[in-house]
A = this chain, B = another copy of it.
Amino acid sequence: MAGDKRLYKSIVDKVLLSIDSGEFPAGGRLPPERELAERYDVSRPTIREAIIALEALERVEVKTGSGIYVLESTTGWNGIDSSISPFELTEARAMIEGEAAALAATMITNEQLAELEIALNEMASPSTAVYENADKKFHQVIANTTGNKMMDSVINNLWYVRDNSPTVHRAYQSICETDGNVRVQEHVEIFEALQKRDDRAARTAMHQHFSRIINKLIVVTEKEQLEAIRRKMTESKERFSLNHLVTAN
């Protein structure tokens, strides 16, 4: 992973790690190339290659004769605004994919319906990996059915955030396990609305689908927060308990 047989890439990873860990704070300067070369035990050309890659990623800015500066980034390492919450992502998906479904209902062909049906069948799989994949496929076919490449691109972006934003991904993981076949049923309803070419029903079905996800998220988040509080409480208990005094006596 860190070494695609290309030295400079591993250096990029290492430097990125140092940036994220706060060793090289944003706005600050990286050590000079020669120093980095010594530090990572590679030659200066290799360091330069790494720096150029980082520059292309918009993580650093090179100023000739001055130094290499770490850019502050609202966007995380993968270009995602990591402050986006699972709720925001889901709400956005509801609105956008809802409209996409409505538009798709007016455009969908029988071939596309067949594709959706295949995905639907795969969703019955007990394997979460297969299930997840079928879920994604289902929504992507709908996005594609709009016949609007911009819409398709936007929805793809939503999935990208879903899969790559650490916070969002974690949240989605935890609600994934806890559901039965309710989700399949929801997708069936979307499918049926599309089959009937009923745009309003398709929009509504999609909204309901995401509404349930939001509710699940609320439950899970609540539970996690309670858990966190409980943990802190026990920590405090241990920290502030006078057991060591009591037992010492």
**Is A154 engaged at the interface, CB distance under 8 Å to the other chain?**
yes
Chain B hits for A157, CB < 8 A: 154, 157
**Is A153 engaged at the interface, CB distance under 8 Å to the other chain?**
yes
Interface residues of A in 119-175 (CB under 8 A from B): 148-151, 153-154, 157-158, 161
**Is A8 engaged at the interface, CB distance under 8 Å to the other chain?**
yes
C-alpha gap A55/B158 in the complex (Å): 25
Q: Which residues of A contact B (CB under 8 A)?
A: 5-6, 8, 45, 48-49, 52-53, 55-57, 62, 64, 81, 83-85, 88-89, 91-92, 95-96, 98-100, 103, 148-151, 153-154, 157-158, 161
A149-B88 contact in complex given A5-B64, A96-B96, C-beta closer than 8 Å: yes
B153 touches A81 (CB 8 A): yes
A84 touches B49 (CB 8 A): no
Chain B hits for A45, CB < 8 A: 45, 48
Chain B hits for A161, CB < 8 A: 150
Task: Choose from B48, B81, B154 the contact partner of A149 (Cβ within 8 Å).
Answer: B81
C-alpha gap A64/B6 in the complex (Å): 9
A84-B149 contact in complex given A49-B52, A95-B99, C-beta closer than 8 Å: yes
Chain B hits for A88, CB < 8 A: 148-151
C-alpha gap A81/B150 in the complex (Å): 8
B84 touches A95 (CB 8 A): no
A230 → chain B closest CB, angstroms: 30
A105 → chain B closest CB, angstroms: 13
Chain B hits for A8, CB < 8 A: 52
A95-B96 contact in complex given A5-B64, A52-B49, A150-B158, C-beta closer than 8 Å: yes
